[in-house]
Structure 1
Amino acid sequence: MKKPLIPDNEVERLKDLQSHQLLDDLPDEDYDLITKLASDICGTSISLITLIDSKKQVFKSMQGIDLKETSRDIAFCAHAINTPEKLLIVNDATLDERFKENPLVTKDPKIAFYAGMPLMSKEGYALGTLCVFDHKPKVLSASQIQALKSLAKLVERLFESRKKSLELEKVYSQLEVQKNQTEEVAYSIAHDLKNPLDSIQGFLELLQIDTGTSLGEEALQYINYATQSTHKMTGLIYEILAFAKLTSQKNVIERVDVEPIIESIIDLNLPIIKSNTIAINYSKLPKIHTSKTSFSIVLRNLIGNAIKYRSKVKPLVIEIKIENESDQWVIHISDNGLGIKESNLDKIFRPFYKEDSQSDAGVGMGLAVCKKIILNLGGDIWVTSKPGSGSTFSFNLLKQV
């Protein structure tokens, strides 16, 4: 077995990898969609998004295998990053001098075929790979190779979006300290965030054109899911901009029909709702007088949070109720999800605060946006929660004619 060489730019490469903060965090559904597509397109039993750290390779996403990491010394992907612009293909690892005595070949998972495309950062460093494995020798077609390269580009754009989000969080933290938030900074960084999203959308369209006729219904569905994810991320950018503008923005008060707003939110999240058997219950909700735009943002964030932080061991049920009191409406959004620790209840409405700091689910702006909107409308927002049993987010709106 031949151990992989260490790249000449290893120090800089590791520093760039750390700056993305991708290691040792929770799985992400967007990455999982890509690895599912990679396996489906290439016809392999295993696909991975790997990150090559100093001594190990960590699996950011994995299909068909239970391992979460391996030693770097035996990692196929540690060889792949030494040729950053090229796809490394090993058609039969049992005959390859570099790998035939590798424990990943001789023992479980008994790899015979490997194809890995290095994942490049914007700064030009190979952070890891998008790769596919199989238990028997294999040869990829030209269209499969091109599709794998296109999917790798999607992962690179997600990495770039991740890093831009971290930069955005840092900027906003500084602005909070200085009490000097400005719309110009938000617009500039949001523009930087939107560019990689546009690239992702473009690659998805190319993928549909190049391989659409040869893909099955499930693979096409994965592409649609990925497309919808880009729309969600774009929505997040616009919410960041909305947060920057909320203080000076004047609310237009109108008669708002709440149920169509909920229906549109359900449509936006339909793929994840169907695939996870999520129920959103409401009945005969009254029409209220408020700002339709602001109210929609609050409801979308609260329902979205319930979906993001759902339990993995029981179906999610979301209940939406509106109480009609003498001088105000009180809206309740309840769920049976993970719940929130009591010590964190007074922190969750702060900008960029996330109870799980390692999670990739958003940048922690949603509840801060909700609170700012409700305060601007003259109301208040609060939460009651029990870890393991769920949460109820409530807010009140003064009746306005």
Structure 2
Amino acid sequence: MAEVPMPSDEAERLRELYDLRALEAAEGVEDGEVVLEPDFQAMAELAAYVCRAPIALVSLVGRDRQYFKGRTGVVWTGTDRQISFCAHTICGRSLLEVHDARTDPRFRDNILVTGEPHVRFYAGAPMVSSRGYALGTVCVLDTRPRRLNEQQRQALHTLAREAAVLLETHRSARLAEEALRHLREMEDLKRNFLTGINHELRTPLTSIRSYLQLILDGGLDRETEHGFLKVIERNGDRLLDVLDELLLLASLNARTAVFEPGPADLVAITRLAVEEACAKASHREHTVTVEAPGDIEVRADSRRLRHALVHLLDNAFKFSPPGGRVDVVVTAGPPAVEIRDNGIGVTEEDIERVFESFYRAPEADEHAAGGSGVGLTIVKKIVQLHGGIVRMERNPGGGICVRVVLPEPPPRA
């Protein structure tokens, strides 16, 4: 049997197949379990009827195998590419017709000819995409030598053209469905954000108004009035924090945020972030450890990077029980900061989404954890400004581990 030829555009052709996601269903099933697609199945049956052939296939030629999207007259779901007649067809753009495979040096030793189903006749039209790549064929086979008439050849060409259009239509439908799902998710996120931000703004404002009214009503001793003013101050600070976060996210998205990187010590930045976060969460009495070498030089905007680390530490404290443990490890080669907690954790599905704007994991709502849902988005954008990456994963013993990795600093001149 002659060696199977390879199209000159094989790499691009395969990329087109995978871009169309045309092989996903076929490659994910075992022989005998494939579910044929009704539209392609109808094409195979029509090809068999028009060409008066016992076997008809709508096939895609992958890297190593030929997959059947529609079939009649056989029970296979595909064949090895090395014995595929269609592997020859996709090397051209015209119909390939083999009148008697026993006399054709390319196929006379093929096991489909010498054994079951004893193929003698083959005719296949290439399924050419709009970008000009032959992805597969619509073909018919017979167990006796024969020829097609001109109308039958034209019918195969038409079916192959329509099969290519159908593949691309399926892709467009999938993309539209994915876009619609994404829009729905964004609408859900916006709705959740508006609900959350309403709570984050309304709660401190309501508190401020209530305490101001009590002060205005008079009759309070000096100590009580001073305590109420402290509460008003805390709630005012909380409002400013929320507004600052929203403005920072907007400037990061618009790429207008001030970013001034320079030589910096990652260990010093981390220790300052730990001190700031611990001061905010002192009432929760966490055990915090910091493991770090003497110093690790990085190129960073110290203020922005500290801001991101404080966010991550705030989350670790917020989602850990009072008296919980938070471990911070700073390493070199590449420079990195790892923050581990023993808190409630999040699911694997939520880990994939926690850095999206306005996304709040269900665990946050279940535990009434405050926040506008933009903190981790800000962290990711700040780390990306530094050319770094941030990852989150679940700890085997419970809780979460977040790792921020920065690029190595450029060598000194």
Normalising by the smaller structure, the TM-score range is 0.3 to 0.5
Relative CO higher for 1 or 2, CA cutoff 8 Å, sep ≥ 6?
1
TM-score (norm 1): 0.43
Larger radius of gyration: 2
